[in-house]
Amino acid sequence: MLTPALENDLKAAIRTIPDYPKPGIMFRDITTLLGNPRAFRRAVDELVQPWAGAKIDKVAGIEARGFIIGGAVAHQLSAGFVPIRKKGKLPHKSVRIAYSLEYGIDEMEMHEDAVARGERVILVDDLIATGGTAEGAVKLLRQMGAEVAAAVFMVDLPDLGGAHKLRAMNVPVRTLVAFEGH
Ligand code: AMP
């Protein structure tokens, strides 16, 4: 758990843009947090804190904001980094999975040799909403034999149930701040 003061500081560092990208959505823009040296460092330190000293082989980041946070998390844990990308972007032989979005489905990919069987992986993205994206990434990693040690996010939208969905898949979840609603 974060102290209330730290949670407030991190929350205040995130900008909210109403009705983006469409009416009714409150877009939680973490670029302001990333641009704030102190907040960025504290957020990454807090995300990795339970795994400091643990054996984590890889950090998998979800395109695109998960790459930024995931790179910092991987560095902090002395782990490798694995990009999980939208389909058609990776140059080498890849594995692909369909996942559900709020409206419709999309596909994500990972290089087939990016994780080895039995490796312990932490999944990273900026925000978890319905959990459809993270669920797809967990399935992809497990399909390749990885052990998903945890999934970590700066922001949780608990009303949308994504963190709950991941925990029901036996994935420990860590989030730093929560916002009500969509
Ligand atoms: P979901 O699959 O529903 O959990 O959606 C998570 C993905 O969509 C993440 O990669 C987020 O960056 C993005 N996302 C969903 N809702 C929001 C929101 N309200 N503000 C910012 N990003 C969002």
* Domain extent listing, the chain: 54-178
**Known catalytic residues?**
65, 102
CA distance 179 to 96: 31
Q: What is the pLDDT of residues 82-128, one digit of tens each?
A: 999 999 999 999 999 999 887 789 999 999 999 999 999 999 999 99
Max CA separation in the chain (angstroms): 46
Roughly what angle, to the nearest 10 degrees, separates helices 37-48 and 65-76?
70
Q: Give ligand 1 pocket residues (Cβ under 6 A).
A: 25-28, 62, 65, 125-134, 162, 182
CA distance 29 to 37: 16
CA distance 181 to 170: 25
- Rounded to two decimals, the pTM is 0.98
Question: What is the Å distance from ligand 1's center to 22 Cα?
Answer: 13
Question: What is the separation of C-alpha 33 from the centre of its chain, rounded to a whole number of angstroms?
Answer: 15
Looking at ligand 1, which atom is closest to the CA of residue 131?
Answer: 4
Which of the residues in the chain have pLDDT under 70? none
Stretch (H or E) spanning 45: helix 37-48
Query: Which pLDDT belongs to residue 145?
Result: 98
CATH topology of domain 54-178: Rossmann fold (3.40.50)
Looking at ligand 1, which atom is closest to the CA of residue 126?
Answer: 12
Tokens of 87: 């389909």
